[in-house]
A and B are shown apart, each in its own frame.
Chain A
């Protein structure tokens, strides 16, 4: 009996935390279907008096919002393809070959994970502007094809769990090292490909800093950057809270769906990345 009461109390406490953590999402959901006067009325309420689903229609027809979507999708596809391909290739020798400088290179990869993006962004910006890539999507996609340290690390950790005997057997069967990679390692590593793919999707759906710096043209902005300015540009002097919240709802649905359907991959990947060191 005492155990059960404790369990109920614990659950109530967990519910309290859940309410706090869910409050911003609740605010977004509730306000996204309110009218503007409803949001400004006092006392404020979480849920609307009348439902205004037309907010979503207005949002999708405002300015370049559909283009922002397209741009975010381009960034996601480009980065997922680029990083899966290049990071897996780079991780392969680090996990399964012996060569000079291996430990040094691995240490260097770990070290570059710690360099704040703000430290390298200025020379990178200068470099990309010299080759005329500023205000294009290229500086946001091309670097992905040169292996992100984070993902190299995750691939390496996964590759190390696959028995070396498989490589030996394949070599005896006449596979060269590239074939070992494509025929043995890649098919066995599907979970880590999905994990990194999902993590990369989420992080580029949310990415703000680099597009803010490289993109000036409105029609090239991704959703995150566009969302910050679109309503200010189209409805001067009035904060369109209802439209902002409707857009915010649109922006949080894809990560929620990814989280629901790929939970084990996403959670596992983020956890491993957190323990890395």
Chain B
């Protein structure tokens, strides 16, 4: 409140210096360098050649593998966001309703979120194996499905598999916790007046609970979108490795292959720029939303 002239104070910046150095070295310069590299043709060892925008032209050529990857990324992102939002909200709702053994259920619901995707990927590969997997056996034995899908080797099913896999990863557990605390904050008296009006449990959920947590719901969708861009690599690579034949090769896997398998640094950088722009758009949406709904106390 007091207004006084101060001389320049270096101390805060000294405390900040690790971040300042880190920002310059590991974020700022690399982002700028990505833009520069995207305009070159370079294989790490030979000479770097300036090629203008031709990398972008070639990755966006019709029928390029990059278009395929963009398509896979879009499908993966949309469906994994919808599925994980639905599933985490379902789990949070169950944990916040009248049930026995809440603590125990929270443990089971959340457990997979902290486990290595590499280990879970092994489990998925075994249980979804078309010959010795238990899932297809159950589908045949209990549901009478005579020819269950090849979850890992058929193109369209492999995408379904990695989308289902995201239910068992960190992002879903995190959203469940966030939903869970949001549900606890829905004012009790809203429910009481509704029960007087004769609403049943399901109606109360649709008409009171969901609107009350809708800001968190929308907010989580954007977070899930970002998570899905960031986390796609570690949840897809151990399960399918991007295969079969590129069917689950999302952008981050595509970039990984171009850069670190084929050493096409220029092409890979231009793909990374596209990923960056997509993340930027999602972040901007989130920024606008958080202005409306999330308040930082200052």
Contact = CB atoms under 8 A, between A and B. Distances in A.
Contacts of B220: 274
B11 A21 contact: no
A92 B187 CA distance: 35
Given A209-B234, A228-B118, A271-B174, A115 B108 contact: no
A194 to B, nearest CB: 15
A118 B233 contact: yes
15 contacts: A11-B100, A11-B101, A15-B105, A24-B168, A44-B133, A90-B15, A114-B280, A119-B31, A119-B272, A120-B34, A206-B116, A206-B234, A209-B234, A252-B119, A255-B115
A270 B286 contact: no
A89 interface: yes
B108 A90 contact: no
B109 A86 contact: no
Contact of B105 (A18, A46, A97, A206): A18
Contacts, number: 284
Contact of A93 (B12, B94, B273, B297): B12
A259 B234 CA distance: 21
Interface stretch (A53-61, A73-81, A125-133, A165-173): A125-133
B13 interface: yes
A122 B34 CA distance: 7
Contacts of B269: 122-123
Interface string B156-176: 000000000001101001110
Contacts of B137: 42-44
B23 A108 contact: yes
Given A17-B94, A44-B133, A271 B99 contact: no
B279 interface: yes
B105 to A, nearest CB: 5
B190 interface: no
Contacts of A7: 98-100
B16 A44 contact: no
B66 interface: no
Nearest to B101: A11
Contact of B114 (A13, A17, A40, A259): A259
Q: How many interface residues does chain B have, given as a range?
A: 35 or more
A111 interface: yes
A21 B283 contact: no
A14 B141 CA distance: 24
Interface in B245-273: 251-252, 255-256, 259-260, 265, 268-269, 272-273
A172 to B, nearest CB: 17
Contacts of B74: none
A39 B238 contact: no
B114 A39 contact: no
A24 to B, nearest CB: 4
Contacts of B115: 25, 206, 251-252, 255-256
Q: Per DSSP, are chain B's interface residues mostly helix, strand or loop, or mixed?
A: helix
B123 interface: yes
Interface string B163-205: 0000110100111011001000000000000000000000000
Contacts of B217: none
A122 B272 contact: yes
B275 A6 contact: no
A274 B171 CA distance: 9
Interface of A: 3, 6-8, 10-11, 13-15, 17-18, 21-25, 27-28, 31, 39-46, 86, 89-90, 92-94, 97, 99, 102, 105, 108-109, 111-112, 114-127, 129, 143, 145-147, 149, 152, 160, 177, 181, 202, 205-209, 212-213, 223-224, 227-228, 241, 244-245, 247-249, 251-252, 255-256, 258-259, 263, 266-267, 270-271, 273-275, 277
Interface in B218-261: 219-220, 223, 226, 229-230, 233-234, 237-238, 251-252, 255-256, 259-260
A99 B15 CA distance: 12
A37 B51 CA distance: 56
B294 A116 contact: no
B12 A99 contact: yes
Nearest to B269: A122
Contact of A122 (B27, B98, B174, B259): B259
B190 to A, nearest CB: 20
Nearest to A3: B98
Nearest to A242: B126
A92 B15 contact: yes
Interface in B9-59: 9, 11-13, 15-16, 18-19, 21-23, 25-27, 29-31, 33-34, 37, 44
